[in-house]
Amino acid sequence: MDLMLFRKKWLVPLFFFEVYLSVTVALFFFGPWPWEIDRPILLISYLAAAQLFIAIGYLLAWRRVLGQHQTTEGSAEHLSYGISFLKRSLLISCILIIPTALSRTGNFFPNIFEGLSDAGAVYNRNFERLQDGNPFVAVEYLRMLFAPFLIAIFPLTVVYWSQLSLRFKLLSSVVIFFNLSLYLATGTNKGMADFVVSLPWLIFLGVSTGLLRLQIQRRWIVVIVAALFIAFLQFFGMGQAEREGGVGELGVFNTGSGLVEASRDNFLSLLLSDGQRIIFESLARYVGQGYYALSMSLGLEHSSTFGFGHSMFLARNADAIFNTDYFTAGSLPGLLELKYEWGMFTLWHSIYPWLASDFGFIGTLFVMAAFGYLLGLSWGFSLLTASHQWIVLFYLLLILFFYIPANNQIFQAGETCMAFFFLLLAILVGKKRTGLNDKSGDLELRPDSPSDAQIQR
């Protein structure tokens, strides 16, 4: 790949997320929700510094990516190993289909029709079911053990699509649809949101590597993705309109210690229908409330939670192991709930208070730089090698960066948290076994080179 063209493609995620985060900050300050904050200059300065550190971290990855660009020998061997990994992933996922449905929905098969017709009600019912205790929680711990395989199915299927046989295309599609149906059946937005926001990036990656050959014109891909996004917004809007408390329909948000009412004379709200207004206000609330929590947490005194407080999953398990509530209640989200009644598990805080629980607010800036570095590295190595490990890591980091205004997303659930650390470990072990130097940046274990026929089987 031409170096100049490659560098332009490599810079695309950095440019996109800098713009995206700037838009979320603008929605917080100028959107329909009148958030009242004590120190707006401090807040906006911190958010600007965070974006600067992300950019610095991302750009620092270029040296490693450039080294890989100069030494890369193509992606055939990585592709063979990646498709083998995908096949094992599909087998594991099929074994866990019914246990997962029981754990996530309480039924043998997810009822997507009920979820689509009454998203808010099924969300509330499922939330109450899980509050009473999940009798199938062991399934979730089993899924954590196989997390890299389970997380990999969607991104690898998209990127490797043209390299798969018809049988595996069908099986992959069924498994992906099943995973999405779990979210649809429980009225949960996350699964569809992750799918819609990451699909264009995975298609872009597959096309750029030459592995994904589109059978239709690219403009139709844009139309299809846009249609999926609109469909997601409709599903999102239906769920918000039916949520308890009237937060969507009435535009009244309960912070725990008071009510915030959306301004209906906002210049955009005046141009929208009732249904469109609910979607707009809900999206603005989703990306804004985390920054409001950050503004409150900037003045809180706290002690470190020693590497556990940045994650709901890790904090809860650390509390259980050490027979304490320090790692949850002592985290910044826990302290916000204690002081301001801002719900630790029911409201959003942005990624920053979660990370600051362990690293402090200055340390969090350097953690964001590290995430930026990993994003640049994983995107660059995915473009050059199509290695399954880098592709899945890039996919996880996509989700992390999209959820920056909300929470520390991939570390909140055990499955994605374990997948992230397993992938980092596999990459480091692969580097050690190959004995390659830092300049090459090739961290993949390489099997014997296959023939084209072997790849298709």
Under DSSP, the state recorded for 244 is G
**Structure tokens, 336:** 């916000």
Identify the three-state secondary structure at position 310: coil
DSSP secondary structure string, 153-212?
HHHHHHHHGGGS-HHHHHHHHHHHHHHHHHHHHTT-SHHHHHHHHHHHHHHHHHHHHT--
Sequence-distant (≥ 6) Cβ neighbours of residue 54 within 8 angstroms: 14, 17, 18, 21, 368, 369, 371, 372
| pLDDT tens digit sequence for 362-409 | 999 999 999 999 999 999 999 999 999 999 999 999 999 999 999 999
Higher per-residue pLDDT: 174 or 124: 174
Average pLDDT over residues 198-208: 95
d(CA 159, CA 206): 4
How high is the pLDDT of residue 323? 97
**Structure tokens, 70:** 């100069």
Of 35-44, 187-196, 289-298, 321-330, minimum mean pLDDT range: 187-196
How high is the pLDDT of residue 94? 97
Higher per-residue pLDDT: 141 or 437: 141
- Phi and psi torsions of 350, nearest 5°: 70, 170
- Percent residues over pLDDT 90 in the chain: 67
How high is the pLDDT of residue 178? 95
How high is the pLDDT of residue 72? 59
Instruction: Give the number of other CB atoms < 10 A from CB of residue 135.
Output: 11
Most confident of 70-79, 92-101, 218-227, 431-440: 92-101
Token pair 């904090």 is at which residue?
315
How high is the pLDDT of residue 451? 34
The model's confidence at residue 126, banded by pLDDT at 50, 70 and 90, is confident
| pLDDT tens digit sequence for 85-98 | 999 999 999 999 99
d(CA 84, CA 453): 13
Average pLDDT over residues 200-210: 95
d(CA 47, CA 138): 39
Rounded (10°) angle between helices 3-30 and 62-71: 150
How high is the pLDDT of residue 21? 98
d(CA 113, CA 110): 9
How high is the pLDDT of residue 242? 62
- Percent residues over pLDDT 70 in the chain: 91
Average pLDDT over residues 277-304: 93
> Which run of H or of E encompasses 253?
strand 252-254
Sequence-distant (≥ 6) Cβ neighbours of residue 316 within 8 angstroms: 327, 328
Q: What is the dihedral of CA 289, 34, 21, 56, to 10 degrees?
A: -90
Average pLDDT over residues 277-297: 93
- Per the prediction, the chain carries an average pLDDT of 88
How high is the pLDDT of residue 246? 62
Which of 57, 20, 177, 89 shows the shortest CA–CA distance to 391?
Answer: 89
**Structure tokens, 128:** 């109450």
Average pLDDT over residues 25-32: 95
Q: In angstroms, how far is the first alpha carbon of the chain from the final one?
A: 28
- Phi and psi torsions of 189, nearest 5°: -80, -25
Beta bridge partners of 260: 253
At position 137, the amino acid (one-letter code) is V
d(CA 219, CA 31): 32
d(CA 320, CA 154): 33
Which of 8, 2, 4 shows the shortest CA–CA distance to 379?
Answer: 8
Sequence-distant (≥ 6) Cβ neighbours of residue 207 within 8 angstroms: 214
The yes-or-no verdict on residue 440 having pLDDT over 80 is: no
How high is the pLDDT of residue 201? 96
pTM reported for the whole predicted model: 0.90
**Structure tokens, 156:** 């690898």
| pLDDT tens digit sequence for 142-195 | 999 999 999 999 999 999 999 999 999 999 999 999 999 999 888 788 888 899
The model's confidence at residue 74, banded by pLDDT at 50, 70 and 90, is low
The yes-or-no verdict on residue 452 having pLDDT over 90 is: no
Beta bridge partners of 253: 260
The yes-or-no verdict on residue 437 having pLDDT over 50 is: no
Sequence-distant (≥ 6) Cβ neighbours of residue 99 within 8 angstroms: 136, 139, 142
Token pair 């199509």 is at which residue?
386
The yes-or-no verdict on residue 441 having pLDDT over 70 is: no
How high is the pLDDT of residue 75? 65
The yes-or-no verdict on residue 35 having pLDDT over 60 is: yes
Average pLDDT over residues 323-351: 96
**Structure tokens, 103:** 């754990």
